[in-house]
Structure 1
Amino acid sequence: MHLYKCAITAPTITVATLTYLFLTIIGPSNAVPSVPKLEASDILEQNSRNDTALLLKRKLSLREAEELFLKNNLSLISSKFEIEAKKAEILQAQLWDNPSIAIDQNIYNRQTGIYFDTTKNGETAIQIQQLFLMAGKRDKRIRLAKWNKEISEQIFYDTLRSLKLELRTTFFQLYFARKSLEFYGESIPAVKKTISGAENVYQNRNILLSELLRLKSLLFRLENDRSKITQIVYEKEAVLRVLLNEQNTTEYEIFPEFTEHADSEYSILSLDTKEIIKSAIENRPDLKSLELSVKAEQTNLSLQKAMVIPDLALGGSYDRAGNYINNYYGFTLSTSIPLFDRNQGNIRSSEMILNSKKIAYEEQLLKVNTEVRAALEIARDKERLLKNYRYSFTKEYKNLAGLMIENYRKKYINILEFADFFESYSESTLNMIRLQSDRIEAAESLNFSIGKTVAELGK
């Protein structure tokens, strides 16, 4: 996908570096004992969790996810069956009506005393008729069935468009949620070690209680935020499992893999609004289905008007002994007389439905116009925001880290101020991850509103 600039550009200052800074601040400057080591049971438990995570981890690329989605998604499979059903309706509309046959057989011949006398002395009458549709009803029904099949195909593409948006946004949300969990996985142990060292220092009255509580408050916030992100991960994994419909997906955790590009081949900022709207009108399947619905209803109206013309039933008859002569052969023709029922109600209904569908099409056309404009502006805003802060953010925090170390050595700041810096650092890092996620979601929403990807528009 060549749509977005989506390199993960979180600050290059690692949590391990900040941990070292914390321990340096609390340790050598305050004669702090070494940080307590984890107990053996804690290490075994942690290793067990890590081993389990490795066993249950499954890496999934976006391309693999889309292939599984197209192959296994139940909603798409259901929509394909609906298309096949519409094709069967075309076949049915092409069939001629079956001929009808009527047989009149005398039950008992009093002259011969024979039941069901089929000899030349008995009475047997046979009539065969074939119905012929007039005023082009058969062709109109075939045309209407074809319109309905095309509408069903556009509904399938619209379902695909909606589910693909859900798949891709869920994939990226899970990807960035796990990126956030990686940050928490480094930050929380670092803060815990810092608190352990600070508690020992506090017992010696080398730091204030407020400083210790400030660190514990920071830890609580981090763990609470991690819990929320973990919940998001579970929710997004559940959505992916339903979309992919893989039987064994519940046996492992899903870890999305995403190739990040530093540059974009097609920049959202350079897109022309009029061209985008024009493309959306040409490609949106929901708009196409409404346009086809108008054409289908026009055909239906023509069919309802044709229903006023009565059909003809032609045939022949044979009567062995019940007519004015024996072995009578005749020609039959039957039709209805449109005296009372001229299909007025169905014609009126079709006219009103046609007007309704025309208005629905105009309304959807307006929605497409406004949705594309809104999606394009949101995507542009997210891209501009990321472009403005992506590189300067990293550089500024890197410089600030050096200043924080120097300022503490010179006793310009204390542990509380350094904790504030850590909190600001973590919040900004997570905000940068969220911004990248929001930008990709905005780009996917733009693709959804257009009906095809921006990268495809550039080809």
Structure 2
Amino acid sequence: MRLLVSSALFILSLTLASAQDTLSLTRKQADSLFFKNNLLVLAERFRIDAGQAQVLQAGLRDNPTVSLELSAYNNQRRQVLDAGRQGEKIISVQQLLYTAGKRNKRVALAAESARLTEYELLDLLRALRFELRSRFYAVYFQQQTVERYNQQIAVIQTTVNAYEREFARNNVSLRELLRLKALLFQLNNDRAEILFQLADDQRALRTLLTVEQPIRPLVRDDALTRYRIPELPDDTLRQIALRNRPDLKAAESLKRQAQLNYTLQRALATPDLRVGGTYDQAGSYIQNYVGLNVQMDVPVFNRNQGAIRAARSQISYQTQLQQQRALQIGNEVITALQKVREVERMVQSVEGQFTQQFQQLNQGVVTSFQKGNISLLEFVDLVETYNESVRQLNRLKAGRVGAYEELNYLIGDDLFD
């Protein structure tokens, strides 16, 4: 327990020591910094460039094949590499020509694959932004809780010091002094737990923003009041999610890729042509022979039957996955709306008059205790109740914002900007 308290005090001292390096940000500033700095987002953009390059590559035509054959040795003239006017050389040129629109089908498939990469980037942005905002508000409310604990601990520490002086004068009992010290010890332990969680959230937040300084969220009241239950009907919100969700678009893209691959595999059953020309200086039935040749595989045994069947099955598979994803998204939105309504009801039930009464009670507790109007046990009980209420209320407020941001995440849009 001593180690726990010491660690908490060490973390707090580091926080205070680096206060001049703290980066204060509003949520919109954090969003902007995230889009600018996040390394995962920057890395995904290179994948998009690679996908566009694959589209370019799929549209390129095959290079012609050129072959040259020379007479290695003329035994009549006893001449090596006899390729002059009296010698022999053969030059051939061949070009592969795709049939059944294979080239265009490959370009369409590569373009859809590149589009899938864009959807994956949007889905990554959606997930990271949800984590960013959740951590942002978690840090804000944790810092609010820590500040309240710091104030309480300072007051209790002053009271303990006063009791120690009175104990030395035999004016208070050891039991009363130890009870106050136990209260102070418990408050320090509770603050340590919050500081440990705050340190984890700070680490994640700094990683998302790609910065090294501690983050101090700046949150105005109007930023929190923007989070309110949407006026749109539930079915409308579900339809918005089905239109916006990049993971559903990715599933639809995989289905289209399966369909495009099926058409490509059917086209591959049609043989391609190889067209070329040959020049033979002296090896044919006439001198300086020029010929035209056309080659084509005869589809007797291999008509690409297996690949066509596999591609057809892949369409059914991706269709089922896409339908399952759409059903899951609809259920996720309805569940998120239920969570929002429940957490809003809980916050509304404790905010306002309840929090004001607790704040007023806390302000008068120490004074009443010092004047002897309440007993030590009542004082300790009220302090513990107040601090636990502050802790739970801030956790509830953070959970409220998290529930709304989860709704944003599941709908794929920002409803509360």
TM-score (normalised: structure 1): 0.83
User: After superposition, what is the alpha-carbon deviation per residue over 1:76-97, rounded to whole angstroms, capped at 9, x for unaligned?
Assistant: 1111111110100110111111
State the partner residue of 1:86. 51
Contact 1:101 1:126 in 2 (8 A): yes
> Is the aligned partner of 1:170 residue 2:135?
yes
State the partner residue of 1:111. 76
**Partner SS, residue 127 of structure 1:** strand
Letter paired with 2:397: Q
Q: 1:61 aligns with which of 26, 29, 54?
A: 26
Shift of 1:270: 3.4
> Is the aligned partner of 1:224 residue 2:189?
yes
**Partner SS, residue 77 of structure 2:** coil
Distance 1:402 1:102 in 2: 96
Distance 1:53 1:427 in 2: 28
Shift of 1:406: 9.8
> Is the aligned partner of 1:348 residue 2:313?
no
State the partner residue of 2:275. 314
Over 3 Å counting, the alpha-carbon distance change for 1:86 and 1:406 in structure 2 is closer
Contact 1:269 1:380 in 2 (8 A): no
Shift of 1:374: 1.2
Contact 1:69 1:243 in 2 (8 A): yes
Distance 1:54 1:327 in 2: 89
User: After superposition, what is the alpha-carbon deviation per residue over 1:403-450, rounded to whole angstroms, capped at 9, x for unaligned?
Assistant: 868987997741211221111111111221111111011111111001
**Partner SS, residue 275 of structure 1:** helix
Letter paired with 1:339: V
**Partner SS, residue 270 of structure 1:** coil
Residue identity (%)? 36
State the partner residue of 2:348. 387
Distance 2:26 2:118 in 1: 28
Over 3 Å counting, the alpha-carbon distance change for 1:278 and 1:115 in structure 2 is same
> Is the aligned partner of 1:253 residue 2:218?
no
Q: 1:430 aligns with which of 391, 395, 410?
A: 391
Q: 2:335 aligns with which of 363, 369, 374?
A: 374
Q: 1:149 aligns with which of 90, 95, 114?
A: 114
Number of positions where the alignment pairs a residue of Structure 1 with one of Structure 2: 406
Over 3 Å counting, the alpha-carbon distance change for 1:407 and 1:182 in structure 2 is closer
Shift of 1:314: 0.8
Shift of 1:269: 5.6
State the partner residue of 2:176. 211
State the partner residue of 1:277. 238
Shift of 1:309: 0.3
Distance 1:351 1:269 in 2: 43
**Higher mean C-alpha deviation, range 197-206 or range 397-406:** 397-406
State the partner residue of 2:91. 126
Letter paired with 2:29: E
Shift of 1:263: 7.4
Shift of 1:143: 0.5
**Partner SS, residue 358 of structure 2:** helix
Q: 2:413 aligns with which of 425, 431, 452?
A: 452
Contact 1:136 1:306 in 2 (8 A): yes
Letter paired with 2:294: L
**Partner SS, residue 305 of structure 1:** helix
Contact 1:283 1:451 in 2 (8 A): yes
Distance 2:289 2:136 in 1: 79
User: After superposition, what is the alpha-carbon deviation per residue over 1:118-137, rounded to whole angstroms, capped at 9, x for unaligned?
Assistant: 22211111111111100110
Task: Note the aligned Cα RMSD (angstroms).
Answer: 2.4
Contact 2:206 2:215 in 1 (8 A): no
**Partner SS, residue 455 of structure 1:** coil
State the partner residue of 1:13. none
Distance 1:401 1:327 in 2: 109
- 5+ residue gaps, structure 1, are 1-47
Contact 2:362 2:383 in 1 (8 A): no
Shift of 1:112: 2.0
> Is the aligned partner of 1:235 residue 2:200?
yes
Shift of 1:67: 1.6
User: After superposition, what is the alpha-carbon deviation per residue over 1:307-365, rounded to whole angstroms, capped at 9, x for unaligned?
Assistant: 00000011111111111111111111001111111112211222222222111111211
**Partner SS, residue 454 of structure 1:** coil
TM-score (normalised: structure 2): 0.91
> Is the aligned partner of 1:286 residue 2:247?
yes
**Partner SS, residue 314 of structure 1:** strand
Letter paired with 2:191: R
Larger relative CO (CA 8 A, sep 6+): 1 or 2? 1
Letter paired with 1:63: K
Letter paired with 1:82: R
Distance 1:353 1:405 in 2: 72
Shift of 1:401: 5.5
Distance 1:128 1:400 in 2: 96
User: After superposition, what is the alpha-carbon deviation per residue over 1:232-253, rounded to whole angstroms, capped at 9, x for unaligned?
Assistant: 222112112221223xx2xx43
State the partner residue of 1:364. 325
Over 3 Å counting, the alpha-carbon distance change for 1:209 and 1:146 in structure 2 is same
Shift of 1:399: 5.5
State the partner residue of 2:403. 442
Distance 1:184 1:266 in 2: 27
User: After superposition, what is the alpha-carbon deviation per residue over 1:189-218, rounded to whole angstroms, capped at 9, x for unaligned?
Assistant: 111111122233344454444433332222
Shift of 1:111: 2.1
Distance 1:368 1:445 in 2: 13
Contact 2:89 2:280 in 1 (8 A): yes
**Partner SS, residue 231 of structure 1:** helix
